[in-house]
């Protein structure tokens, strides 16, 4: 049994009048990949965006309940959200590199947090991050090109490099492959396998095959409720809830 990194307790989320999450409680293990699956609009993206408080930017979003990372309540009043996001990186559904150079894309995070003291430190961080994101070999000769000039898959790996540049513990991935072709998807999945030795990864995905391939634990969301969470093999071979069974066999969703 791995140690527990993230623990959500009775999480309820409202967007204005509409309730998006109902009493979600689950934990995620350190240095493992946890997958969240479920049909569209089931609340899995809402849940993952609670983990780095990305929902704070939405005015009408209200979060109740408790989320602990390493035992600290991230919604506590004394929690600095910028510090939290330094520890909990995020990769989005659509690749969103800054319209700046590849170097600047990766260097931005370390620069605003003052991680690198010298220019050489910064260069080193950029190179290591790009290497960890398996992008360095493809872009090493054109670091000053615009990040938006890369292909979709490369852009997404650039976003992963950007996320790991500030050395987080956790990386949240919100359907990172939904805008990519199968080859680019395979590369990102492969990359996740490497990254989980250092980072705790939470991935939201539409593809059950992907969840089965990359994750050790899987949670199934339906209509804002966490229906079931268990070891990935158990979910896919012997789910305890009928709705999970129906979803993974393709009866709905």
Partner 1 sequence: MTDRIEQRINSLNKRLNSEKRFRIYCIGAMSFALAWVLILFLNIFSSGYSAFYRTVIQVDVPFLNLIEDTTQFSEMSSEDINNLSMYSFSKKAIYRLFPDIEEKKDKKMLIRLFSIEFEQEIREFLKSNKSNINETETIYLTASDDVDQVNKGNYPRDLDEDKRRIKDIQLLFFDDLVDRGLVSYEFNLPFLMRGDSREPELAGVGGSIVGSLFTILVVLILSFPIGIFAAIYLEEFAPKNKVTDFIEININNLAAVPSIVFGLLGLGIILNTFGLPRSTPLVGGIVLSLMTLPTIIIATRASLRAVPPSIREGALAVGATKMQAVMHHVVPVAMPGALTGTIIGLAQALGETAPLLLIGMVAFVVDVPQTPLDASASLPVQVYLWSESAERGYVEKTSATIMMLLGFLILMNLAAVLIRRKFETKW
For binding to partner 1 (CB under 8 A), which residues are involved?
A: 52, 54, 57, 59, 82-86, 89-90, 92, 94, 96-99, 108-109, 112-113, 146, 148, 159, 162-163, 165-166
CB 200, min distance to partner 1, A? 16
Nearer residue to partner 1 within complex by CB, 171 or 226:
171
Residue 208 structure tokens? 């059950």
Q: Quote the CA–CA distance of 203 and 206 in Å, as a whole number.
A: 10
CB 66, min distance to partner 1, A? 22
CB 243, min distance to partner 1, A? 31
Nearer residue to partner 1 within complex by CB, 96 or 128:
96
Nearer residue to partner 1 within complex by CB, 90 or 212:
90
Nearer residue to partner 1 within complex by CB, 84 or 135:
84
CB 86, min distance to partner 1, A? 4
Our CA angle for 112, 114, 115, nearest 5°, is 115
Distance of CA 216 to the CA centre of its chain: 15
| Element (DSSP H or E) covering residue 104 | helix 102-113
CB 109, min distance to partner 1, A? 4
CA-CA-CA-CA torsion sign (43, 45, 50, 53): negative
Contact predicate 203/36, CB 8 Å: yes
CB 53, min distance to partner 1, A? 9
Contact predicate 170/202, CB 8 Å: yes
Nearer residue to partner 1 within complex by CB, 43 or 97:
97
Nearer residue to partner 1 within complex by CB, 148 or 207:
148
Beta bridge partners of 8: 26, 67
Q: Secondary structure of the chain: what % helix, strand, coil (to 5)?
A: 40, 25, 35
């Amino acid at each position: 049994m791995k140690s527990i990194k993230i623990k959500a307790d009775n999480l309820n989320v409202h967007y204005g009048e509409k309730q998006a999450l109902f009493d979600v409680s689950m934990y995620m293990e350190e240095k493992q990949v946890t997958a969240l699956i479920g049909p569209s609009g089931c609340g899995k993206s809402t849940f993952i965006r609670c983990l780095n408080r990305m929902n704070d930017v939405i005015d009408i979003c209200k979060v109740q309940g408790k989320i602990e990372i390493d035992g600290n309540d991230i919604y506590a009043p004394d929690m600095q959200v910028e510090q939290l996001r330094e520890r909990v990186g995020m990769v989005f559904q659509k690749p969103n590199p800054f319209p700046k150079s590849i170097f600047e894309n990766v260097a931005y995070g370390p620069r605003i947090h003052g991680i690198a003291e010298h220019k050489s430190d910064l260069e080193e961080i950029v190179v290591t991050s790009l290497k960890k994101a398996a992008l360095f070999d493809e872009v090493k000769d054109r670091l000053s090109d615009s990040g938006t000039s890369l292909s979709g898959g490369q852009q997404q790996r650039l976003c992963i490099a950007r996320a790991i540049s500030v050395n987080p513990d956790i990386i949240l991935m919100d359907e990172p492959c939904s805008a990519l072709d199968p080859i680019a998807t395979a590369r990102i999945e492969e990359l996740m396998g490497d990254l989980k030795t250092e980072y705790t990864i939470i991935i939201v995905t539409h593809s059950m095959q992907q969840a089965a391939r990359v994750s050790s634990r899987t949670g199934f969301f339906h209509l804002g409720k966490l229906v079931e969470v268990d070891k990935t093999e158990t979910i896919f071979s012997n789910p305890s809830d009928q709705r999970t069974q129906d979803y993974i066999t393709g009866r709905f969703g």
